[in-house]
A and B are shown apart, each in its own frame.
Chain A
Amino acid sequence: MIPEIGHYALILALCVSVVLGTLPIYGAAVGNSMLMSVAKPAARGQFLLVLLAFCCLGYAFAVKDFSVLYVASTSNSQLPIQYRLAAIWGAHEGSLLLWVFILSIWMVAVSFLSTHLPEAMRARILGVMGLVSLGFLLFMLTVSNPFERLIPAAFDGRDLNPLLQDPGMVIHPPMLYMGYVGFSVAFAFAIAALLGGNLDATWARWSRPWTTVAWCFLTIGVAMGSGWAYYELGWGGWWFWDPVENASFMPWLAGTALIHSLAVTDKRGGFKAWSVLLAIMAFSLSLLGTFLVRSGVLTSVHAFATDPKRGLFILVFLAVVIGGSLILYAWRAPRVGLGGGFSLVSREGMLLTNNVLLVAALGAVLLGTLYPLFLDALDLGKISVGPPYFDTVFVPLMTPAIFLMGIGPLAQWKKATLPALALRLRWAFAVSAATALTLPWLIGQWTPLVSLGLMLAIWIVTTSVVGLRERLAHADGGSLMGRLAAVPRSYWGMLLAHCGVAVFIVGVTMVKGFEVEQDLRMNVGETSTVGGYTFRFDGVREVQGPNYTAARGTFHVSQDGREVTVMYPEKRRYTVQNQTMTEAAIAPGLMRDLYVSLGEPVDNGAWSVRLYHKPFIDWIWGGCLIMALGGVLAVSDRRYRLAWRRKEAEVPAATQMARQTIS
């Protein structure tokens, strides 16, 4: 009964989305405010209906209702409750429901936080989001219904993929989807502005905080995915350029370009058409990512073709969304004004160059991800595109981008001069170059890549310091504290996010350059020393988990004769799917991680064991966290808080611009 209620709620939600996707947009076109006012209640109604459907599916998992096909195929009676609930988004159908659910959360948020927007704008935004949800609901109800019954009911479920039975997997997909779907808000703002023909600086000001928040979620989501791969897959890496990872990374790159381009549109009125294009791109890539991961096309092009209904729907939907918005763009964008003029050497010019580099990097990732699929589909042979390819093309594309990242915030708007910039940055450059030449020697060994990585990281930090110093020197407010307080939060946010990138680069560089790995054959009582830490193997014993049995090893780790920690790596066998999983043990630390993963039993109680010493690896995720915090700080800036509170009096754009230039 309950699953039918969920199914029915989805059907009703579909009906509401049809209303939401048509009436308010039509109303905005003809200036009928009654039709426009449908948007708010419809968005909220759709949210309640999807929430109901989501709860029904959750209930079916909680009570182990194996007469629901999706529940039977992704959970099991022995699966602990938290993983049964996480199994809602454990496979294709449920993750689509999660997608729509999160979309309706964003819709409700827009409906509550858009009181300061003109009614037509709000009606169009919610209408566009309604159309997107219409596509997803239709997809679910026609070809991938999570509430489909299995009659007769299964005696027990086929269990959730053991890889996904992990606390990280409980929160990683919702975070990631908050980011993916969050870009639908930026997309809806852009489409609404194109429809209304009012693509101006105010549009950018309104959509900026939404985009930044979505970007923060996506940053955290991608970082969590990488962290999960690190501790769950047991191979010690943190990023493999796997298509699934790339699918989440591409919208991130587009989103990063978008928030920078929006900053220019907001402050200077430039880049309008480009910002719109990036908003369309970011959301299209989010859609592509969702479908790449969930359609099975990655496992095999042929598996995708065996279920042509789903594949066809996906392709048509992608074509309608991407094609439709690009046609609208081509039609409307040429009418957009140009904004202020600027030369290539200016803050605008550098931001735009960085945007081009980010998009080229994005193109490289897209090419590498889809190329093998295309070759295979065209029967031109099977190839693998892996880390060696991506490392080779990505580093040369990102190095100039990161170099510019240091200069950009210091350059004047409109027109800057290179000699003056060089003079202001000479110390930053000297310090970075000196560090790049000497620091790797001091740590251990000089290699070009380590040197480059450290130089870029130090460059970001030193240029940030120069920027902050100059800003403080020009700020009014008397004492140092007063002047620090006068610096707006959005500026702090930018500094913090950029320093997050530096922290991230340090992590990547150090772990790539100085990681130590050892493959050993360890008898009970034997020791081995890796990176100054001595690991002693104290044997393996059997442990019984809720739905698995495990061989758990014990390793005592000491440094200079002092015991540091005890580590328990496991080799688990999940009984239902009869699958073995390597559960690595990790002793995290600010300066290094110790990582032990248990291989196979060799003979007489000896095991093959892999030990790692990974310097600074946690900086990778720390850096991402700092980037996201920077975003949060930027969104909490005073002007946004004010904007939420009062409906801003319409000020002519020219005056606003002049005010910003002066402040």
Chain B
Amino acid sequence: MKWFLLIILLVPCLAGAEEARPLIDNPLVEARLKHLAVELRCLVCQNQTLADSHAPLAEDLRREVREMIAKDMSDKDIIEFLVTRYGDFILYRPPLKATTTLLWVGPFVLMIAGVAALVLALRRRQKKLVDLSLSEEECNRVARLLSEGANRL
């Protein structure tokens, strides 16, 4: 019975199933589209890239980008075109300009300032600390007290 099922399942496989075609027939264009679309926003979705979205408007925009790629426009030109039409909102990698300087520089400033503050604070702290190291006699006393404590437990 098992074998029978297996044969039934396998027969269609063996019967020369055809290889499915890519959705769009030009792999080079698709690769470039993909490369661009993962950094572009689908304008009507909540928060999705143009590459991932199934929305009809995203479909249209992808078609437009494909056409631009087919016209042999460079990535830079395509992005420039999209930005003039839709604004910076379409870019998931915000361009560096006056209003976004803080966004791009902030994290690294934070890290450098944090580490610098840490080093300075530790230096200052080290100076403030009184030397609390124990004399040999005190060490012996601690050990004695501890062993007494251990005996009591």
- Which residues on the A side are within 8 Å of B115 (C-beta)? 353, 356
**B146 and A658 contacting across the interface, CB-CB below 8 Å:** yes
> In residues 620-663 of chain A, which contact B (Cβ within 8 Å)?
655, 658-659, 662
**A526 and B107 contacting across the interface, CB-CB below 8 Å:** no
- Which residues on the A side are within 8 Å of B17 (C-beta)? 525-527, 536
Closest to B93 in A: A388
- Which residues on the B side are within 8 Å of A152 (C-beta)? none
Contacts A338-B128, A341-B125, A536-B13 given: A386-B22 contact, CB under 8 Å?
no
A397 to B12, CA, bound (A): 53
**How distant is A535 from chain B, measured CB to nearest CB, in Å?**
8
**A519 and B24 contacting across the interface, CB-CB below 8 Å:** yes
Contacts A381-B88, A383-B88, A393-B108 given: A518-B49 contact, CB under 8 Å?
no
> In residues 550-590 of chain A, which contact B (Cβ within 8 Å)?
556, 558, 561, 563, 582
> In residues 90-111 of chain B, which contact A (Cβ within 8 Å)?
90-94, 99-100, 102-104, 106-108, 110-111
Closest to A580 in B: B54
Closest to B25 in A: A521
**A242 and B107 contacting across the interface, CB-CB below 8 Å:** no
Contacts A364-B107, A367-B106, A520-B23 given: A525-B91 contact, CB under 8 Å?
no
- Which residues on the B side are within 8 Å of A360 (C-beta)? 107, 110-111, 114
Closest to B51 in A: A235
Interface presence of B89 (CB below 8 A): yes
**A526 and B9 contacting across the interface, CB-CB below 8 Å:** no
Which residue of B22, B41, B49, B104 is within 8 Å of A519 (Cβ)? B22
Which residue of A363, A534, A582 is within 8 Å of B110 (Cβ)? A363
Contacts A360-B111, A525-B17, A536-B17 given: A520-B118 contact, CB under 8 Å?
no
- Which residues on the A side are within 8 Å of B146 (C-beta)? 655, 658-659, 662
Interface presence of A312 (CB below 8 A): no
Interface presence of B1 (CB below 8 A): no
Interface presence of B28 (CB below 8 A): no
- Which residues on the B side are within 8 Å of A558 (C-beta)? 13
**How distant is B100 from chain A, measured CB to nearest CB, in Å?**
7
A527 to B128, CA, bound (A): 74
Some 17 contacts from A to B, beta carbons below 8 A apart, are: A235-B52, A343-B126, A360-B111, A363-B106, A363-B110, A367-B106, A368-B103, A371-B103, A381-B87, A383-B89, A384-B41, A388-B93, A397-B111, A526-B19, A528-B20, A534-B13, A658-B142
Residues of A that sit less than 8 Å from B by CB:
234-237, 240, 242-243, 299, 338, 340-344, 349, 352-353, 356-357, 359-361, 363-364, 367-368, 371, 375, 380-389, 392-393, 396-397, 518-523, 525-528, 534, 536-537, 556, 558, 561, 563, 582, 599-600, 608-609, 655, 658-659, 662
The 6 closest A-B pairs by CB, nearest first: A386-B92, A364-B107, A388-B93, A235-B52, A360-B111, A356-B114
